Structure 1
């Protein structure tokens, strides 16, 4: 039988009695999977972010995608109905450039691998961008670029083998797209590492350098990180002591969230960034019972099994109260590791919810 440790619950159990836009001063919004997916905005998010700003919360647009400079990202956001200035955009290229500039002398040569955003950030940081290993770069900064191919990767390999420091803007294996996950920067960083045998210095999320760059540029005093990835957005927030809101408009789904390791557990959850505008109900715990709104979770006697039950309909709910209760229950019973959850439903509403969340009851698999 798994012991219950109420003191080990994630702060998801605490919720937020006021909308996050009234509690935090800056929302540090990931882009891919949060504001847009592919070329299009997540439905409803532009209007939601306009309301967030009207409520007094400032926005910072944070991306591990290093391919574009901030002015291009801002222009793209503006076209999608999310007005943005270049100064509000923070990219992993900028974080990498800041770190490299602190490691090297001013004007030092650096090989840029990736989209235009990589070279632009290095130049802005006072470094000299070069394109060949024969230019004796002191470092290689590698970021995502859709046009990156064998030639750039070969120059990176030769440079690193020649003594250059390998710095990666991020290590995301995939990027979201309307066609599903596609290869991200981490996939190509892995190629260079496999050939050189030299692990890179990674400066994007979840490395603290990325969110330190965000806080510095936005002057945030109480930031809230909003993201769709557990291993970058949520872990990055936890590593710098910031609160986090996980949204389900990108790569993470409820089933994956429930199995999250402690460093990947968010403080708040929402279907999308509109969750900044509404309160997040707390989870009440009473022994082996957890309740959130009209939903409840019971720990089965003598085994590691949770029972989900839905009460009466609540028109104020965002449909995630049962998931909040499940997270609080499962994580309190497994405070130190990410363990697969075993859950069954009582009643048709709870069964439907488990189906939506990708949690198949054991009886359904028989």
Structure 2
């Protein structure tokens, strides 16, 4: 169900590929304790790469935000879906190829970095690349849609359906991808998570023979790690909570689970299934009258681990998604800080 690491994860793996929102920061604020955890991870010898599906912001803008939060980072430590999309394009088309650009500054910078020429929607081109861009005009979207329908190759930076903003969760680039796909009957090549190009580009830039993906989303970070063939650590500081964890499909299940980034700094045992349930670190999780219940006492990481294994075992045995109404999860650091 879950993996085992006899040594700390920062020793067992040489590169941490860190998702950002929900892992390192939440909005404009750092996840409590994140900076200190990452300092200790670096001291352990693990390299860090900050990986984002956001194609709008250039790497230096992301790195500047991280430094404001007390996290050591420069532009070379940041890898975006825009860079992954540019890599996909240049490997097929070669330097100097003309590409219609619908997106923001981060995507334009990524194209220029690999020697591609960004052109407007009516110009001669070999491909279209799209990314989140609040200034993209509807008339350009319409023209691009017609060109894709007529055969222009299309690469999308990501397919995230939502995006966090200062005024709430808003439509993301995935809404545009869906709209264009429905009109054209064409599915783009997607560079961002959960597809492989972004993590492959991260390893290419950062190096590392034993990479570990660290994320808070099952359907992008964890599924993306599985698609790329790398292990993953799910942290519970972002969008995944109890309801999402217990119904995770096999493709969305992490190798390890931890309450926060401190999980990189410790070994990981896996829960063991016994006659009375799944046990680890003083906790026991089992089904009782159709409900998932947990008894005992111990650390937060072990609580999440036994719950995950008990729930997935029940789910895989055709028992359906377990009822978790009796469970009260341990507070994550983010939730505790908000109190």
Kindly indicate whether the alpha-carbon contact (under 8 Å) linking 1:92 and 1:169 is maintained by their aligned counterparts in 2.
yes
Q: Corresponding residue for 2:294?
A: 309
Report SS of the residue matched to 1:181: strand
Q: Corresponding residue for 2:336?
A: none
Report SS of the residue matched to 2:158: coil
Alignment of 1:353 onto 2:329: yes
Task: List gaps (5 residues or longer) in structure 2.
Answer: 333-339
Residue by residue over 1:202-255, the C-alpha shift from the partner in whole angstroms, topping out at 9 and shown as x without a partner, is 111111122111111111111110011111110111112211111122221121
Alignment of 1:35-114 (within 5 A): 35-114=24-103
Q: Give me the whole-angstrom Cα distance separating, in 2, the residues matched to 1:62 and 1:249.
A: 16
Q: Corresponding residue for 2:147?
A: 159
Q: Give me the whole-angstrom Cα distance separating, in 2, the residues matched to 1:336 and 1:123.
A: 51
Q: Corresponding residue for 1:23?
A: 12
Which of 303, 306, 310 pairs up with 1:325?
306
1:179–1:267 CA distance, 2 compared to 1 (3 A): farther
Q: Corresponding residue for 2:132?
A: 144
Kindly indicate whether the alpha-carbon contact (under 8 Å) linking 2:86 and 2:110 is maintained by their aligned counterparts in 1.
yes
Q: Give me the whole-angstrom Cα distance separating, in 2, the residues matched to 1:212 and 1:112.
A: 23
1:353–1:86 CA distance, 2 compared to 1 (3 A): closer
1:213–1:355 CA distance, 2 compared to 1 (3 A): closer
Alignment of 1:239 onto 2:220: no
Residue by residue over 1:155-174, the C-alpha shift from the partner in whole angstroms, topping out at 9 and shown as x without a partner, is 42233234211111111101
Q: Give me the whole-angstrom Cα distance separating, in 1, the residues matched to 2:138 and 2:261.
A: 38
Kindly indicate whether the alpha-carbon contact (under 8 Å) linking 1:115 and 1:144 is maintained by their aligned counterparts in 2.
yes
Report SS of the residue matched to 1:112: strand
Q: Give me the whole-angstrom Cα distance separating, in 2, the residues matched to 1:93 and 1:119.
A: 8
1:97–1:353 CA distance, 2 compared to 1 (3 A): closer
Q: Give me the whole-angstrom Cα distance separating, in 2, the residues matched to 1:254 and 1:277.
A: 23
Q: Corresponding residue for 1:359?
A: none
Alignment of 1:191 onto 2:188: no
Q: CA offset at residue 83 of structure 1?
A: 1.6
1:95–1:323 CA distance, 2 compared to 1 (3 A): same
Task: List gaps (5 residues or longer) in structure 1.
Answer: 1-9, 346-350, 357-366
1:332–1:142 CA distance, 2 compared to 1 (3 A): same
Q: Give me the whole-angstrom Cα distance separating, in 1, the residues matched to 2:319 and 2:156.
A: 27
Report SS of the residue matched to 1:334: helix
Report SS of the residue matched to 2:54: coil
1:172–1:225 CA distance, 2 compared to 1 (3 A): same
Q: Corresponding residue for 2:248?
A: 260
1:308–1:111 CA distance, 2 compared to 1 (3 A): same
Q: Give me the whole-angstrom Cα distance separating, in 1, the residues matched to 2:104 and 2:236.
A: 28
Alignment of 1:334 onto 2:334: no
Where in structure 1 do 4 or more consecutive aligned residues deviate above 6 Å?
A: none
Report SS of the residue matched to 1:260: coil
Q: Give me the whole-angstrom Cα distance separating, in 1, the residues matched to 2:104 and 2:180.
A: 17
Q: CA offset at residue 104 of structure 1?
A: 1.5
Alignment of 1:290 onto 2:278: yes
RMSD over equivalenced CA pairs, Å: 2.3
Q: Corresponding residue for 2:120?
A: 131
Give the TM-score, by structure 1 length.
0.83
Report SS of the residue matched to 2:125: coil
Mean alpha-carbon deviation: is it higher for 238-247 or for 278-287?
A: 278-287
